[in-house]
């Protein structure tokens, strides 16, 4: 049944809706993405209903069944949920700010803890080992909280206050920490891979020994008190500071998020860029000699006039770049003895064929201009003798003077 029909049934009132649910127990109503702002659903049977990404802000949901309902990403801001049963409901990324519950409301322990943190804050709290994964904790106060060994995987902590928080060995993979206050936060041995740090305050933060693969450091703020491994400090520098013509020879930039970085004319010879994300980066005129790019994300990258001698690149590289690839030829070319992987293409130096063509062209040019030059020289000599030798009255050349002796 189409979603429009479910909406139409919903608007006919609780009695009609509940009767239809009894007659069709195997049908899961689809109300996903629907704007239900301020609607009154008291006494409705909404168990197992798909309400993902729906707008239920300020809605009245008192005394209803929402067991096993899908409320993933739903906006419940200011909703009334007194006497609501939410056991087994999917509340991942749901906005629980200002929702009203009472002692008769039944939530799973994780959902209740998220509600508590969002609405009451958790500064200075002991949350060691807690599971807050895939939750929306937008702008929450977790300053000085102990979140060591906690599961915050995929959690939305945009704008959150984590100043001085203890996050040793915390799992924050794919979490959103954009614009968060992480001043003096402790992240030793934390899983920060794919974390969005854009705009975050990392001044004084301790990030040594943390996993930072593909972390987004764009516009993140570090200072001299920030402690971070050299590799990831370099990544931060590349994406936030001009890197044109920079010497980056033989450095490890594997698994780094370098999207949009300006690496024009940079010397990356022999550097490790395996699995790096270079989408939209400017590598024009860069030296990529002997660099392995086979597992690197190169969509939209600029590679015009880059030196790709001995570089290992994807076979579909021309389709991934924005500009024509014109490899330089100054470095030694690849020899036939070097193995090629079946799914990759190696850029081979074009120095030798260019030289052969130049020699052929030069030989043809010599043949073309030697013959007319000889004719011109012959004519010049003839003219010299014709106009310089003395002549008699008849115009004939005079004989040589006789021997005076």
Is a pLDDT exceeding 80 seen at residue 33?
Answer: yes
Task: Pick 354 or 141 by higher pLDDT.
Answer: 141
Taking the C-alpha atoms of residue 378 and residue 401, their distance in angstroms, rounded to an integer, is 27
Q: Are residues 232 and 248 in the same domain?
A: no
Give the residue from 207, 241, 275 where a domain finishes.
241
The reply to whether 398 falls in a domain is no
So what's the pLDDT on residue 346? 33
Q: Are residues 182 and 207 in the same domain?
A: yes
The reply to whether 47 falls in a domain is yes
The reply to whether 401 falls in a domain is no
**pLDDT (tens digit, 9 = 90+) per residue, 117-159?**
999 999 999 999 999 999 999 999 999 999 999 999 999 999 9
So what's the pLDDT on residue 341? 37
Give the chain's domain count: 4
Q: Are residues 343 and 364 in the same domain?
A: no
So what's the pLDDT on residue 361? 45
**pLDDT (tens digit, 9 = 90+) per residue, 287-337?**
999 999 989 999 999 999 999 999 998 888 887 787 655 555 444 433 333
CA within 13 Å, CB half, 170: 29
The reply to whether 404 falls in a domain is no
Q: Are residues 102 and 35 in the same domain?
A: yes
DSSP string over 289-333: TT-B-TTSB-TTBB-TT-B-TT-EEETTHHHHBSS-------SPP
Mean pLDDT, the chain, rounded, equals 85
Structural domain span for residue 385:
355-389
Phi, psi of 247 (to 5 degrees): -85, 110
So what's the pLDDT on residue 242? 77
Give the residue from 349, 375, 397 where a domain finishes.
349
Q: Are residues 33 and 130 in the same domain?
A: no
Task: Determine what percent of the chain is predicted with pLDDT higher than 70.
Answer: 79
What confidence category does residue 385 fall into, taking pLDDT thresholds of 50, 70 and 90? low
The reply to whether 400 falls in a domain is no
Task: Pick 146 or 389 by higher pLDDT.
Answer: 146
So what's the pLDDT on residue 367? 47
So what's the pLDDT on residue 383? 58
Q: Are residues 150 and 248 in the same domain?
A: no
Cα 171 to Cα 42, 138, 154, 189, 195: the distances in Å are 39, 18, 9, 9, 10
Is a pLDDT exceeding 50 seen at residue 192?
Answer: yes
Q: Are residues 257 and 333 in the same domain?
A: yes
Q: Are residues 160 and 71 in the same domain?
A: no
The reply to whether 21 falls in a domain is yes
Is a pLDDT exceeding 80 seen at residue 265?
Answer: yes
- Mean pLDDT across the stretch 2-24? 91
Identify the CATH number of the domain in which residue 335 sits: 2.160.20.80
So what's the pLDDT on residue 243? 73
Q: Are residues 359 and 310 in the same domain?
A: no
User: SS3 of 85, please?
Assistant: strand
- Mean pLDDT across the stretch 23-34? 94
So what's the pLDDT on residue 221? 98
Lowest mean pLDDT among 5-14, 173-182, 348-357: 348-357
The reply to whether 132 falls in a domain is yes
So what's the pLDDT on residue 294? 85
């Amino acid at each position: 049944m189409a979603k429009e029909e479910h909406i139409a049934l919903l608007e006919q009132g609780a009695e009609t809706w509940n009767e239809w649910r009894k007659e069709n127990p195997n049908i899961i109503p689809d109300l996903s993405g629907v704007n239900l702002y301020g609607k009154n659903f008291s006494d409705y049977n909404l168990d197992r209903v798909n309400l993902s990404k729906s707008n239920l802000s300020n809605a009245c949901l008192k005394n209803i069944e929402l067991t096993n309902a899908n409320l993933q990403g739903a906006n419940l801001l200011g909703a009334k949920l007194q006497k609501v049963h939410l056991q087994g409901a999917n509340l991942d990324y749901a906005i629980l700010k200002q929702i009203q519950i009472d002692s008769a409301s039944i939530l799973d322990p994780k959902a209740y803890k998220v509600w508590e943190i969002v609405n009451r804050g958790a500064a200075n709290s002991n949350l060691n080992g807690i599971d807050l994964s895939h939750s929306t904790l937008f702008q929450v106060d977790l300053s000085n909280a102990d979140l060591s060994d906690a599961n915050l995987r995929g959690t939305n902590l945009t704008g959150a206050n984590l100043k001085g928080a203890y996050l040793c060995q915390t799992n924050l993979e794919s979490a959103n920490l954009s614009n968060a206050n992480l001043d003096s936060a402790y992240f030793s041995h934390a899983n920060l891979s794919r974390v969005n740090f854009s705009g975050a305050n990392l001044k004084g933060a301790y990030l040594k020994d943390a996993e930072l693969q593909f972390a987004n450091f764009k516009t993140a703020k570090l200072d001299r008190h920030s402690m971070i491994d050299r590799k990831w400090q370099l990544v931060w520098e590349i994406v936030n500071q001009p890197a044109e013509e920079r010497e980056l020879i033989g450095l490890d930039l594997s698994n780094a998020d370098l999207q949009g970085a300006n690496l024009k004319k940079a010397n990356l010879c022999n550097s490790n860029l395996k699995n790096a994300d270079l989408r939209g980066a400017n590598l024009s005129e860069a030296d990529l000699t002997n660099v392995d790019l086979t597992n690197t994300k190169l969509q939209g990258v600029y590679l015009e006039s880059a030196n790709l001698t001995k570089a290992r690149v994807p076979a579909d590289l021309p389709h991934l770049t924005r500009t024509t690839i014109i490899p330089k030829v100054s470095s030694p070319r690849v020899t036939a003895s070097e193995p090629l992987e079946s799914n990759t293409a190696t850029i081979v130096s074009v120095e030798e064929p260019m030289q052969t063509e130049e020699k052929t062209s030069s030989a043809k040019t010599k043949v073309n201009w030697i013959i007319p030059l000889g004719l011109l020289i012959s004519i010049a000599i003839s003219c010299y003798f014709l106009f310089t030798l003395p002549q008699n009255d008849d115009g004939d050349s005079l004989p040589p003077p006789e021997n005076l002796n």
